[in-house]
Chain A
Amino acid sequence: DQQVKQNSPSLSVQEGRISILNCDYTNSMFDYFLWYKKYPAEGPTFLISISSIKDKNEDGRFTVFLNKSAKHLSLHIVPSQPGDSAVYFCAAPLISNFGNEKLTFGTGTRLTIIP
């Protein structure tokens, strides 16, 4: 049961343009979201997060937007740079059967920045 979904497995964007990565979720109890970036042969690294009390959070070139009514969030990268080429995962904390939080990941989007 995939509660966090990224429907685009891959995305190619010209260097300098805006990259928009999308994420949808089904569980209305989610109140916090995180984006992770993963290079090949490395572990995911935390990028940016957003609480459900906000609809936007910005950190340098990265902005995450949250639309709670649509259960949708997006990550905007502008301007896109070659080093942004990676797999991006959105993630949300979920209360486990054991009563504590665990992080559940979306399926990932491979972003390729074309020089």
Chain B
Amino acid sequence: DTEVTQTPKHLVMGMTNKKSLKCEQHMGHRAMYWYKQKAKKPPELMFVYSYEKLSINESVPSRFSPECPNSSLLNLHLHALQPEDSALYLCASSQENLGRAGYTFGSGTRLTVV
């Protein structure tokens, strides 16, 4: 299995809703990442987990809450989002927490906040 699987592919949520994005990989990668991508912009790093521990939080607002239940799973819990949070949310993984290792990305979750 050489894939990163993200669910759901699309999500529409209201500003008072609570929802979660899920990411799964079975490649034995020890680092997992959440990126956010707005239209016509590059992916921007949000969080990094290394060996199931949060190692980077890029000053992301607390309405985004990551969770790494085990080495294969990464969740992003969403609460009280704003319309400007609408974006493509990408999960990625790599063998180690090294940018040069080359990341494997999932297809993303297209989030729309209404």
Using a CB–CB cutoff of 8 Å, the interface residues on chain A facing chain B are 9, 32, 34, 36, 41-46, 49, 89, 91-94, 96, 98, 100-108
CB of B99 within 8 A of CB of A45, answer: no
Per DSSP, chain A at the interface is strand
Q: Are A100 and B107 in contact (CB under 8 A)?
A: no
**Is the Cβ of A42 less than 8 Å from the Cβ of B107?**
yes
A46 near B103 with CB under 8 A, answer yes
B114 within 8 A of A: no
**Contact for B90 among A32, A34, A43, A102, CB less than 8 A:** A43
Partner of B42, one of A45, A89, A102: A89
Q: How far is the CB of A86 from chain B (nearest CB, A)?
A: 13
Alpha-carbon distance between A92 and B108 when the two chains are bound, in angstroms = 21
B107/A102 in contact, CB under 8 A: no
B residues lining the A interface (CB < 8 Å): 4, 6, 40-45, 48, 50, 55-56, 90-92, 97-100, 102-108, 110
- Could you give 6 example pairs across A and B, Cβ below 8 Å? A32-B100, A43-B105, A101-B100, A104-B99, A105-B42, A107-B42
Q: What is the minimal beta-carbon distance from A16 to any residue of chain B, in angstroms?
A: 28
In the complex, what distance in Å separates the CA atom of A32 from the CA atom of B55?
21
Contacts of B41 in A (CB 8 A): 107-108
Among B92, B100, B104, B110, contact of A34 (Cβ-Cβ < 8 Å): B100
Closest Cβ of chain B to A95, distance in Å, is 9
Which of B40, B50, B102, B110 has most chain A Cβ within 10 Å? Answer: B102
